[in-house]
Structure 1
Amino acid sequence: MEDPWFTISELDSKTYAISEYGHWEKVHSFLLLGEEKAALIDTGLGIDSIQRVVDKLTNLPIDVLTTHVHADHIGSHGEFDQLFVHEDEEDWLISGIKGLAIEQIRKDIGRDITIPTPASFDPSTYRPFQGKPSGLLKDKDEINLGNRTLLVYHTPGHSPGHISLFDKQNGFLFTGDLFYDQTPIYAFYPTTSPSDLVASLEKIAAIKGVNQIYGSHNSIGIDPRIFAEVHRAITYLRENDLITFGSGVHEFAGFSVRF
């Protein structure tokens, strides 16, 4: 399926990545189809309408599951009725993202774009979505899509209410901004927590039955054998007292972190 802004990748017959490669952040949202409804994990940058793509892929009712309330993950939330977020970021969704000025958000959303954007997009007037969620999520919640169940893991660090989602039937782990490759995973803003990030990495690396890892940026699909390196990285960071703001970028085999 071709689209002027989004790139659609079929991960299997009921799972799609919806990617925005024309923007420097290379953001991925994910559409998971069940028998009764579908889950859309994040809604991207909001530069163009993700609903246009979703409507071509499924007629099922959509639950939007928010990995975290940052602008590049909630851009098209306003196109959907059923929005879910972790309880620790309910206020962020309603009242606005904490810790980032609108001027910085607009600068980030408008820079280093490599393909044409729709006429409706103007970075100088861009505002992240704000609105009341339909429901709140917490650690160990299960979301039943109909013969497909997603398990919620509260994985703070990059943001207070960050979640990861585990597709139990397929072994797909969706890690949002907790884990991805190529560019540093970060916890250096005032609203982040290096210690929480490391604890969350340790938490997901212990999940059994993971067949593929899907982060929200860069590569689509990471081999779960990388979790052995995650364990080694955690040990190194702890033993060298590096889990603190300002300690810099730490490179490991296949990923890096910035505190």
Structure 2
Amino acid sequence: MITIKDSWFTVEEINEETYAISEYGHWEKVHSFLLIGKDRSALIDTGLGIDNIKRICNQLTSLPITVLTTHVHWDHIGSHGQFEHIYVHKEEADWLINGIKKLSIEQIRKDVSRDITIPTPNTFNPETYLPFQGQPSGVLEDGDIIDIGNRKLTILHTPGHSPGHIAIFDEKTGYLFTGDLLYDKTPIYAFFPTTNPVDLVNSLEKIANVPNVSKVYGSHNTLGLDPSILTSFSRRLDTR
């Protein structure tokens, strides 16, 4: 078991090929996930950008890293600029290049700086904080398979929280990474500036039907949820 002690990130081993890299000192309690294959690794999101997540990844793997973006919101693309290979759903490629839609920089800076409970790095200045903008290496579509070597990741287009939101299913482990589509303890926002409530409900129904899920990993709050949460949501949706 690899143990990493860090002043900002918390690293938790899910299995010997999968790590959660979490930012518990911020009110968002964001999780990014490093999945290690035989040939390369996949990093699901890059966190807040308050500190550089790449230095953590470099301690966990020497393989080349492909970043898979669940969606283009500031708290999921914070360290994108540290990586060469970045992929995003085609519906949000423009957001990555030209900026996040419907979110002002004033609001983003307010949100990134509030309710922080541990010291931040000296390099972090909320007054000059800017979300990453840049050209993606490629775009993703529903049903794409990302093979990182003896480990195939299926891309599921799950719009609702944002138009290009994706979930990622790891066929080898049965782990379903749901981004901001599904997590616990705090509300699933259906009326955020970039959300579409109808799409969100349809996407929840979609992931409820993914077979052979062993664990659900949302991007916030509790790390690792029982897959029964999928059927629980499905039953609630059936009664709406």
Give the TM-score category using the shorter length.
Answer: over 0.9
SS at match of 1:185: coil
4+ aligned runs moved over 3 Å, structure 1: none
For residues 195 and 31 of structure 2, the distance between their equivalents in structure 1, rounded to whole angstroms, comes to: 21
> Gaps spanning 5+ residues in structure 1: where?
238-259
1:4 aligns with 2:7: yes
1:142 aligns with 2:121: no
Q: Deviations over 1:22-81 (max 9, x none)?
A: 000000000000000000000000000100100000000000000000000000000000
SS at match of 1:186: coil
1:33 aligns with 2:27: no
Q: Deviations over 1:66-114 (max 9, x none)?
A: 0000000000000000000000000000000001110000000000000
CA contact (8 A) 1:27 1:44 kept: yes
Q: CA deviation at 1:235?
A: 1.9
Look up the equivalent residue of 1:132 and give its one-letter code.
Q
The one of 190, 201, 204 equivalent to 2:193 is 190
1:103 aligns with 2:115: no
SS at match of 1:113: coil
CA contact (8 A) 1:41 1:64 kept: yes
For residues 105 and 48 of structure 2, the distance between their equivalents in structure 1, rounded to whole angstroms, comes to: 14
SS at match of 2:239: helix
**Identical positions, percent:** 64
- TM-score norm. by structure 1 comes to 0.91
- TM-score norm. by structure 2 comes to 0.98
Q: Deviations over 1:105-144 (max 9, x none)?
A: 0000000000000011011110100000000000000000
CA contact (8 A) 2:21 2:33 kept: yes
Task: Tell me the C-alpha RMSD between the 2 structures.
Answer: 0.6
Look up the equivalent residue of 2:73 and give its one-letter code.
H
For residues 38 and 12 of structure 2, the distance between their equivalents in structure 1, rounded to whole angstroms, comes to: 20
CA contact (8 A) 2:151 2:171 kept: yes
For residues 231 and 147 of structure 2, the distance between their equivalents in structure 1, rounded to whole angstroms, comes to: 30
> Gaps spanning 5+ residues in structure 2: where?
none
CA contact (8 A) 1:99 1:189 kept: no
Aligned to 2:21: 18
Aligned residues: 237
